[in-house]
């Protein structure tokens, strides 16, 4: 294939690596390449080869490769339903460019909620104020649902992070199903380790901005770090265990964590093992987690709570295995998801009589209830978007979901809300006058989300995807 002169003599530096952008038309994932001397090329730039080998991005694609986020975001001519190798046999599903769009939509929706819910909640609560009208009551209700429960209980926003971890788990079977034997397993383990480390470092960088004066001020526990750890654990378990064994491990981890918290009551705890003033998860962070912590002496993404968070990811792994089963029709898969979700909801609700639902401690009842809602959300999205083919309404979330980590990082370094307030200050003042205090902040938040979606759309249509 002739080399595009527009791309000649240009290199792309990513994460400290400089990668030659020459076309890789004759490369295989297991081949050494002149581009980087490694096994798997990180970038394929504007390749026009219609017969692009399976395992590499498709025609017209710019991909920075790492399988944390999920299915290969690049639609290829040989791809089938989410497998980045393009070889998954998941016949019968309605799809778009070889992808299961419902998974991207769920992931993108989770990211939009993560980057926009806090500001929206504050604005809505401010707009609701102490008013007695229907609008004020509705604004307060939405504001509450878009914020975390203070301690025990469950709100809509408490389901967002488990949903993202769930989608991370969904991605594991399609990306690793053909790499569980022999030398391929070792190579896959190396890639999993590298990708988890990169994501963990990105998480540290995320919380280190703006620059800190001392090491102890850097937050070592956070959203991206937890995603990295959960992805690593789930992917490694998938490489070495059967689907049934993974389901057993998931159940054992949930039960073991519940028993551990029930049995350990620490001095200083006034209301049992789930006391917000002192509990085992808090104690572990106080003694073993260095760096800055979200609540001063402990962190909701701390050390011990990572264990049950892994189980949330493993629930996604089990569901992802069902997506690969060729013996199931799409309708049967949706019913399996819905049925399993209902069972987890019932189990978690029953357990909550003894073990309260606490997101900050990631309690066993919280794992089960959140996992149940994730499976039900997948069943509904899969039925509507992929089976019925009603996907146009979900495309903004799909665009974001295809570049989830990139959009999350951009939100840290780009003040989307501030851009609106700076450009349209007079309009902001008018909005506050019309809708009451908080009106401008709400519109700025929504405008910021629209800007993030627009960036995701531009990347999507130009087939530029960051997979961290």
User: For 150-184, what is each residue's pLDDT tens digit?
Assistant: 999 999 999 999 999 999 999 999 889 888 877 88
Report helix, strand or coil for 90: coil
Q: What are the residue ranges spanned by the domains of the chain?
A: 102-171+242-409
Task: Classify residue 14 by its DSSP letter.
Answer: E
Lowest mean per-residue pLDDT among 81-85, 297-301, 380-384, 460-464: 81-85
Q: Which among 412, 413, 420, 406 has a CA at the least distance from the CA of 451? A: 420
Task: Classify residue 358 by its DSSP letter.
Answer: B
Whole-prediction pTM value?
0.77
pLDDT at 93: 38
Work out the average pLDDT over 212-224.
Answer: 78
- Virtual torsion, Cα 152, 157, 162, 166, nearest 10 deg: 150
| C-beta pairs of 420-426 under 8 Å, 24+ apart in sequence | 420/444, 420/447, 420/448, 420/451
pLDDT at 271: 81
pLDDT at 339: 97
Task: Answer whether residue 445 shows pLDDT above 90.
Answer: no
pLDDT at 144: 87
- Residues forming beta bridges with residue 64, ordered by sequence position: 466
Report helix, strand or coil for 184: helix
Q: How far apart are CA 16 and CA 19, in angstroms?
A: 10
The CA-based angle 269-250-89, given to 5 degrees, is 150
Q: Band of the pLDDT at 40, cuts 50, 70, 90?
A: very low
Counting residues of the chain whose pLDDT is more than 70, the rounded percentage is 73
Q: How far apart are CA 403 and CA 409, in angstroms?
A: 10
Q: Which among 81, 98, 245, 65 has a CA at the least distance from the CA of 174? A: 81
Residue 89 preceded by cis peptide, ω within 30: no
pLDDT at 436: 62
Work out the average pLDDT over 441-452.
Answer: 84
pLDDT at 451: 87
Work out the average pLDDT over 41-64.
Answer: 37
What angle, rounded to 10 degrees, do the helices at 364-381 and 160-176 form? 70
- Burial degree of 5 (CB within 10 A; 0-12, 13-18, 19+): exposed
pLDDT at 295: 87
Q: Band of the pLDDT at 79, cuts 50, 70, 90?
A: very low
Q: 287: how many CB neighbours lie within 10 A of its CB?
A: 9
Q: Which helix (H) or strand (E) holds 11?
A: strand 11-14
Q: Band of the pLDDT at 352, cuts 50, 70, 90?
A: very high
Q: How far apart are CA 449 and CA 122, in angstroms?
A: 15
Work out the average pLDDT over 73-93.
Answer: 31
Work out the average pLDDT over 103-127.
Answer: 86
pLDDT at 106: 96
């Amino acid at each position: 294939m002739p080399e595009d002169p527009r791309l000649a003599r240009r290199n792309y530096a990513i994460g400290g690596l400089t990668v030659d952008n020459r076309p890789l038309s004759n490369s295989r994932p297991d081949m050494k390449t002149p581009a980087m001397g490694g096994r798997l090329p990180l970038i394929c730039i504007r390749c026009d080869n219609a017969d692009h080998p399976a395992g590499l991005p498709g025609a017209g694609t710019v991909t920075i490769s790492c399988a944390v986020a999920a299915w290969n975001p690049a639609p290829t001519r040989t791809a089938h339903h989410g497998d980045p190798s393009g070889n998954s046999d998941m016949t019968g599903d309605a799809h778009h460019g070889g992808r299961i769009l419902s998974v991207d939509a769920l992931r993108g929706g989770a990211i939009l909620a993560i980057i926009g819910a806090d500001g929206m909640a504050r604005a809505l609560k401010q707009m609701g104020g102490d008013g007695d009208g229907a609008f004020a009551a509705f604004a307060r209700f939405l504001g509450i649902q878009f914020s975390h429960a203070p301690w025990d209980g469950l709100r809509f926003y408490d389901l967002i992070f488990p949903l993202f971890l769930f989608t991370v788990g969904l991605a594991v079977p399609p990306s690793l199903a053909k790499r569980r034997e022999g030398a391929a397993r070792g190579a896959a383990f190396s890639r999993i380790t590298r990708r988890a480390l990169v994501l963990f470092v990105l998480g540290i960088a995320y919380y280190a901005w703006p620059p800190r004066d001392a090491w102890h001020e850097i937050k070592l526990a956070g959203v991206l770090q937890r995603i990295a750890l959960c992805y690593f654990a789930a992917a490694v378990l998938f490489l070495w265990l059967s689907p049934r064994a993974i389901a057993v491990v998931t159940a054992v981890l949930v039960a073991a964590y519940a028993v551990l918290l029930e049995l350990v009551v620490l001095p200083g705890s006034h209301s049992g093992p789930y006391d917000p003033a002192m509990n085992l998860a808090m104690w572990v962070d106080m003694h073993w987690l260095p760096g800055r912590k979200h609540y001063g002496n402990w962190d909701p993404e701390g050390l011990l709570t990572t264990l049950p968070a892994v189980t949330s990811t493993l629930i996604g792994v089990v569901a992802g295995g069902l997506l690969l089963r060729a013996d199931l029709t799409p309708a049967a898969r949706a019913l399996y998801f819905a049925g399993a979700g209902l069972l987890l909801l019932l189990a978690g609700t029953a357990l909550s009589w003894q073990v309260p639902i606490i997101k900050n401690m990631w309690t066993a009842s919280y794992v089960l209830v959140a996992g149940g809602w994730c499976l039900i959300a997948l069943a509904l999205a899969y039925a509507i978007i992929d089976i019925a083919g009603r996907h146009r309404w979900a495309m903004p979330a799909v665009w974001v979901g295809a570049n989830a980590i990139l959009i999350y990082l951009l939100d840290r370094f780009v003040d989307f809300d501030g851009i609106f307030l700076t450009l349209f200050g007079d309009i902001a003042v008018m909005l506050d006058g019309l809708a009451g205090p908080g009106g401008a902040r709400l519109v700025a938040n929504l405008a910021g989300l629209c800007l993030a979606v627009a960036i995701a759309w531009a990347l999507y249509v130009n087939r530029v995807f960051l997979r961290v």
